[in-house]
């Protein structure tokens, strides 16, 4: 007898519970689900699709060609016989390492210079930020103009010093540094801007105490400023490394990876396999390796930054 | 006395450094602007001429000689439409993530962020094949759809931060007064987060306005956007610097103007809300 009543009670309660659950969660669900559905469709599906594609061979240029399962062949070819894969990795890693290092140091210097009050600081700070807001395509165009052999500003400055014209983007030795300089021009303001904000948000008291204790500029910077802006520095370096490693547009406009393969970063190399040679399987395999490397880099940076703080 | 001189030298050195930095970052942009208003002869002069009579010939010619009007319209329509779509879908989702801490909500948020970090070239291959099959290649709707993959995560992350900054009491008292959950969102949270909404929308618009890779691969002659068109001119025409720089100035103009408006939220926007 008693057991039946409990069962009925439970039965009665259940719909009530459901309504409450629904009353609480319907609003957030309705607000969240459309975005999640779109993102799954636009990202998760393509990622699995291209993962599967990377184990296949498919020439999109040949209309009659169909998918052919080849297992790990694409990956094996990339690692063993592909003559351009490792050079591209080297170019990408060098490019990322040099640009991020220079941008970080230069950005930090600029942020420190601008941390003191002076007339016109606000306006000058806005001006410095401009390069990072313009399209990388426009930045590429600007620097193609700057590097132009016959009428570029760089050669004009050298001409004023009595030095002969140089074809900056057309020579193996100078193309890479030239591309790096353009990237440094565009993204140093990014690091500077983040660090300026971090420095501005610092409390005054520790600095006043340091001044009273007779700490010099270097000591104040090394033992006060630097540790306190470390989180911001980490965010800046992390974002810059990710973006620098996947660079495409700036180099596409400046050199298209040339001369030879001297500026051919991984993104550009993958693009060529996909949309010049139409080998979709091979390009998918390359793109997966690129994602894998980015994940590894991100973890290395986070690991080192964390260890230093502890 | 000696100390005084040292201080003056230090100050002068700092001023000089600041001047060099400003010139390095700003001069290339000014140079492009100057070249765009030079006549063809002046633009090709070496050494460059600094005093010349300005002309808007280049601006007129790019609209007359090429389809620049079409590319401008495409870019404007694609950027505006995709900003609207991303905001419409992303803002409610951000509110939901900020206010309802269901199990796995932070995992979901990080998954959304990871989409933004993925190199676009990796997504490009499957998206190209998908679009080819759906006949979405070289169309504005296709472009708007694909721009959601990077705009939507951005909007969700930015707005989640802005909503989390709002005190929850106001929404709660609105609900006590009879507002529904949607009402609390629409009538209270949205109004309070208005500056955040505006700056998120502006940044989304600018990112899309500047976008290159997706537009390069997914568009042909119909839906081509300005970044792709400009880069094509450069290859087709060799060096018509007057035209190139005029196009570059048109592309830079909205970014320069809008940057002044969103300065306060720039750092936040560029770091996905990691730094406020």
Task: Report the alpha-carbon distance of residue B137 to residue B198 in Å, rounded.
Answer: 31
Identify all chain A residues contacting B274, using CB atoms and an 8 Å cutoff: 235
What is the domain-level CATH number for residue A105? 1.10.3720.10
Q: What is the pLDDT of residues B222-275, one digit of tens each?
A: 899 999 998 887 766 666 888 889 999 999 999 989 988 888 888 888 888 777
Interface test with chain A among B22, B101, B119, B188, by most A beta carbons within 10 Å? B119
Of the candidates A44, A39, A280, the one whose C-alpha atom is nearest the C-alpha of residue B132 is A280
CA distances to A129, A236, A291, A294, B200 from B272, in Å = 17, 11, 20, 18, 10
Task: Specify the pLDDT at position A16.
Answer: 46
Identify all chain B residues contacting A236, using CB atoms and an 8 Å cutoff: 271
Per-residue pLDDT of chain B (276 residues; tens, 9 = 90+): 456 888 889 889 988 999 999 999 999 999 999 999 988 778 777 777 788 888 898 899 889 888 899 999 999 999 999 999 999 999 999 999 998 888 888 888 888 888 888 888 888 888 998 898 899 999 999 999 999 888 999 999 999 999 998 888 888 888 888 888 888 888 888 999 999 999 999 999 999 999 999 999 999 888 999 999 988 877 666 668 888 899 999 999 999 899 888 888 888 888 887 777
Asked if residue A73 belongs to a domain, the reply is no
- DSSP SS3 for A69: strand
Statement to judge: residues A20 and A163 lie in one domain: no
Statement to judge: residues A184 and A256 lie in one domain: yes
User: Residue B263 is nearest to which of A31, A126, A190, comparing CB atoms?
Assistant: A126
One DSSP character per residue, A45-56 reads: HHHHHHHHHTTE
Beta bridge partners of A68: A57
Question: Do B248 and A131 lie within an 8 Å CB cutoff?
Answer: no
Asked if residue A122 belongs to a domain, the reply is yes
Statement to judge: residues A107 and A235 lie in one domain: yes
Q: What residues make up the domain containing A6? A: 2-42
Interface test with chain B among A33, A113, A133, by most B beta carbons within 10 Å? A133
Would you give the end-to-end CA distance of chain A in angstroms?
65
- DSSP SS3 for A230: helix
Cβ of B222: how many Cβ atoms within 10 Å? 11
Asked if residue A22 belongs to a domain, the reply is yes
Question: Do A132 and B248 lie within an 8 Å CB cutoff?
Answer: no
DSSP A59: B
How many domains does chain A fold into? 2
Interface contacts A/B by beta carbons within 8 Å: 247
Task: Report the alpha-carbon distance of residue B157 to residue B159 in Å, rounded.
Answer: 6
Statement to judge: residues A16 and A110 lie in one domain: no
Asked if residue A214 belongs to a domain, the reply is yes
Angle between helices B2-36 and B241-261 (to 10 degrees): 120
Task: Report the alpha-carbon distance of residue B146 to residue A303 in Å, rounded.
Answer: 33
Task: Report the alpha-carbon distance of residue A229 to residue A108 in Å, rounded.
Answer: 10
Asked if residue A55 belongs to a domain, the reply is no
**Token pair for B164:** 């989390």
Task: Report the alpha-carbon distance of residue A112 to residue A192 in Å, rounded.
Answer: 9
Question: Do B128 and A274 lie within an 8 Å CB cutoff?
Answer: yes
Question: Do B45 and A239 lie within an 8 Å CB cutoff?
Answer: no
Of the candidates B202, B254, B143, B85, the one whose C-alpha atom is nearest the C-alpha of residue A35 is B85
Beta bridge partners of A279: A59
Distance from the Cα of A271 to chain B's closest Cα (Å) equals: 7
Question: Do B270 and A132 lie within an 8 Å CB cutoff?
Answer: yes
For A236, name the nearest residue in chain B, comparing CA atoms only.
B271
Asked if residue A230 belongs to a domain, the reply is yes
Asked if residue A213 belongs to a domain, the reply is yes
What is the value of pTM for the model shown? 0.90
Statement to judge: residues A243 and A177 lie in one domain: yes
List the Cα angle B8/B10/B11 in 5-degree steps: 65
Considering the domain delimited by B58-270, tell me its CATH architecture.
Orthogonal Bundle (1.10)
The answer for residues whose C-beta is within 8 angstroms of residue A138's C-beta and 6 or more apart is: B210, B227, B230, B248, B251, B252
Across A179-196, average pLDDT: 96
DSSP A57: E
User: Residue B266 is nearest to which of A50, A113, A129, comparing CB atoms?
Assistant: A129
Statement to judge: residues A25 and A93 lie in one domain: no
> For chain A, what percent of residues have pLDDT higher than 70?
92
Beta bridge partners of A69: A56
| Confidence check: pLDDT of A7 > 50 | no
Beta bridge partners of A59: A279
How is chain B split into domains, by residue range?
A: 2-56, 58-270
Alpha carbon dihedral B5, B9, B14, B16, in 10-degree steps, equals: 140
Distance from the Cα of B70 to chain A's closest Cα (Å) equals: 18
Task: Report the alpha-carbon distance of residue A25 to residue A1 in Å, rounded.
Answer: 36
Task: Specify the pLDDT at position A191.
Answer: 96
Interface test with chain A among B121, B236, B263, by most A beta carbons within 10 Å? B121
Are the beta carbons of A185 and B24 closer than 8 angstroms? yes
Task: Report the alpha-carbon distance of residue A288 to residue A75 in Å, rounded.
Answer: 10
Q: Report residue A64: phi and psi, to 5°.
A: -85, -10
- DSSP SS3 for A71: coil
Asked if residue A21 belongs to a domain, the reply is yes
Are the beta carbons of A281 and A51 closer than 8 angstroms? no
Of the candidates B247, B257, B255, the one whose C-alpha atom is nearest the C-alpha of residue B79 is B255
One DSSP character per residue, A257-302 reads: T-STTTT--HHHHHHHHHHTS-BHHHHHHHHHHHHHHHHHHHHHHH
């Amino acid at each position: 007898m008693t057991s039946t009543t409990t069962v009925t009670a439970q039965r009665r309660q259940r719909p009530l519970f459901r309504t409450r659950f629904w009353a609480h969660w319907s609003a957030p669900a309705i607000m969240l689900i459309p975005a999640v559905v779109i993102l799954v469709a636009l990202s998760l599906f393509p990622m699995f699709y291209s993962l599967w594609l990377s184990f296949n061979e498919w020439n999109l240029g040949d209309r009659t060609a169909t998918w052919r399962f080849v297992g790990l062949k694409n990956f094996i070819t990339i690692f063993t016989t592909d003559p351009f894969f490792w050079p591209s990795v080297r170019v990408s890693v060098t490019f990322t390492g040099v640009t991020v290092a220079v941008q970080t140091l230069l950005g930090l210097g600029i942020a420190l210079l601008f941390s003191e009050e002076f007339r016109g600081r606000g306006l000058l700070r806005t001006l410095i930020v401009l390069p990072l807001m313009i399209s990388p395509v426009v930045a590429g165009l600007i620097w193609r103009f700057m590097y132009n052999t016959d009428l570029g500003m760089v050669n004009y400055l050298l001409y004023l010093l009595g030095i002969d014209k140089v074809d900056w983007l057309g020579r193996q030795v100078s193309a890479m540094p030239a591309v790096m300089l353009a990237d440094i021009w565009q993204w140093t303001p990014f690091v500077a801007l983040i660090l300026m904000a971090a420095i501005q948000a610092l409390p005054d008291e520790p600095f006043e105490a340091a001044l009273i204790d007779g700490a010099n500029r270097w000591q104040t910077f090394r033992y006060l400023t630097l540790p306190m802006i470390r989180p911001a520095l980490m965010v800046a370096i992390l974002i810059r490394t990710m973006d620098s490693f996947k660079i495409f547009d700036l180099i596409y406009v400046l050199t298209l990876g040339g001369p030879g393969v001297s500026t051919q970063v991984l993104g550009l190399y993958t693009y060529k396999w996909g949309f010049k040679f139409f080998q979709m399987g091979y390009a998918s395999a390359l793109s997966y390796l690129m994602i894998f490397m980015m994940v590894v880099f991100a973890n290395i940076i986070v690991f080192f930054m964390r260890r230093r703080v502890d | 006395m000696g100390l005084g001189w040292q201080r003056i030298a230090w100050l002068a050195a700092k001023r000089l450094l600041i001047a060099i930095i400003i010139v390095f970052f700003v001069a290339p942009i000014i140079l492009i602007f100057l070249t765009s208003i030079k006549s063809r002869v002046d633009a090709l002069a070496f050494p460059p001429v600094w005093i010349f009579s300005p002309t808007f010939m280049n601006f007129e010619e790019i609209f007359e000689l090429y389809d620049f009007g079409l590319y401008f319209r495409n870019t404007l329509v694609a950027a505006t439409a995709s900003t609207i779509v991303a905001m419409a879908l992303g803002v409610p989702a951000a509110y939901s993530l900020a206010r309802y801490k269901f199990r796995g909500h932070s995992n979901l948020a990080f998954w959304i962020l990871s989409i933004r970090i993925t190199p676009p070239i990796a997504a490009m291959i499957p998206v190209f094949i998908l679009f080819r099959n759906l006949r979405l290649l070289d169309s504005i709707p296709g472009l708007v759809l694909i721009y959601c993959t990077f705009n939507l995560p951005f909007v969700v992350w930015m707005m989640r931060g802005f909503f989390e900054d709002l005190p929850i009491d106001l929404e709660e008292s609105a609900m006590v007064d009879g507002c529904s959950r949607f009402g609390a969102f629409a009538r209270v949270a949205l109004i309070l987060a208005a500056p955040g909404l505006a700056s998120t929308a502006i940044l989304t618009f600018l990112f899309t306005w500047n976008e290159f890779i997706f537009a390069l691969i997914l568009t042909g002659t119909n839906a081509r956007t300005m970044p792709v068109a400009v880069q094509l001119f450069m290859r087709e025409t060799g060096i018509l610097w007057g035209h190139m720089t005029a196009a570059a100035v048109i592309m830079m103009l909205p970014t320069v103007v809008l940057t002044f408006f969103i300065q306060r939220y720039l750092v936040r926007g560029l770091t996905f809300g990691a730094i406020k």
